[in-house]
Amino acid sequence: MTFTATDLGEALISDVPQPAYTLALNGQDISGRFRGRLIGLTLVDNRGFEADQLDIELDDHDGMLELPEKGVHLSLGLGWADTGVVDKGRYKVDELEHTGPPDRLTIRARSADLGSDLTTRKERSFRDKTIGAIVRAIAGKNELVAVIAAKLANQVVEHLDQTGESDANLLTRMAKDYDAIATVKQGKLLFIKAGEALSASGIPLPTVLITRASGDTHSFMVADRDNYNGVKAFYQDTRLAKKGEVVIDASNAVAVKEAPAPSKGRKKRPTAKPRVTAYPNPDNVKVLRHTYATKANAERAARAEWARMQRGVANFSITLARGRPDLFPELPAVVSGWKPQIDNTGWTITKVTHHLTERGYITTLELEIKPAELQEEAASDAPWRP
């Protein structure tokens, strides 16, 4: 049963699009119980392993509402009476709050995809395993289907320790080193490049168009990315007795400094060292805390961190006057109707907040620059500017 947030029988508003939602408790539709009681429903859809959160606030002025048990599962659908609702997933109730007067009941639930085994700490190591093999092993243990980006699946991880760490945290850490996103959606464990729009089945997602006419409010901000001139990562290769550092800067150059292994007897003539990129402020380089096992791992992590820093250069948020239940994180977006520098930039949706009341339904989007935009900029060596 689909329940519209206002009475569709009212002739005076029959021609106005009405927000609609469905709620099912452990598979049984309970939407009708909330008729005339809904104060507000908010769904925050996050990227990565940050749990999605559903908040439902209900009017209990007559004391007739029953408190649901913690741990039950709610399935949510959002949309409009004229176009239907979109399935927004399952959520596990983990918090209840009753306040008053006037009496109100707030139900809080979080995405139910994160099983207990994903958050249980483990002790193990992976050696010379591909990303695909590691992700599939974790997915299998948690009864999930693995979806892995083709450009990541065959990359070999030389050594990865999981010490007192959950699978969710391990995947997040590994994703950070490869500038990827690890998340669980609709029973699938996704490990994809950040900003690489793939559905849960691995199919490329279409680019969505957002016009200013569909927006209510917006906020655009440019941060000074020159706060850091580069990213430095250290590596320690015990087999070759080498210590070194890798630096990634705006031109994607790599600088390596190596301390040669101590030798006995005759001293070897020192070999020429690779050129070190000169920075306007050499002390203003972001240093990664972790020491990596190999130079390749250090370089990969530094490149991934530099790419993340660049995506944070410009941020754009939009509140849509008519809610869009079809939008979710990682969708690529094109915007139109703002400044040319905003419209001409490719964006990726990073966070979606749906808010529905008995009077309306709005969606707030947070966006960041697509990685492809940054790659084109690096190739041209032309800084993005508003």
As a whole number of Å, the end-to-end CA separation of the chain is 48
Q: Which residues of the chain have pLDDT under 70?
A: 1-15, 112-116, 195-202, 223-227, 237-241, 250-283, 293, 308, 310-313, 370-386
pLDDT of amino acid 10: 46
Same domain, 91 and 123: no
pLDDT of amino acid 379: 44
pLDDT of amino acid 288: 82
Structural domain boundaries enclosing 124: 116-193
Same domain, 51 and 141: no
Same domain, 223 and 360: yes
Residue 269 domain-assigned?
A: no
Residue 264 domain-assigned?
A: no
- Nearest C-alpha neighbor of 245 from the set 281, 307, 297: 297
pLDDT of amino acid 134: 93
Q: How far apart are CA 377 and CA 384, in angstroms?
A: 7
Same domain, 229 and 365: yes
Q: Give the tens place of pLDDT for each residue, 63-102.
A: 888 888 888 889 999 999 989 999 998 898 989 999 989 9
Residue 56 domain-assigned?
A: yes
Same domain, 216 and 320: yes
Q: How far apart are CA 349 and CA 311, in angstroms?
A: 12
Angle formed by the axes of helices 131-141 and 167-177, nearest 10°: 160
Same domain, 30 and 176: no
Same domain, 236 and 340: yes
Cα 224 from chain centroid (whole Å)? 23
| Reported pTM | 0.72
pLDDT of amino acid 159: 82
Same domain, 232 and 324: yes
Same domain, 233 and 312: yes
Same domain, 92 and 130: no
Tokens of 326: 């079809």
Q: DSSP for 240-275? A: TTEEEEEEEETT--EEEEEEPPP--SSPPPPPPPPP
Residue 127 domain-assigned?
A: yes
Same domain, 70 and 132: no
pLDDT of amino acid 130: 93
pLDDT of amino acid 113: 64
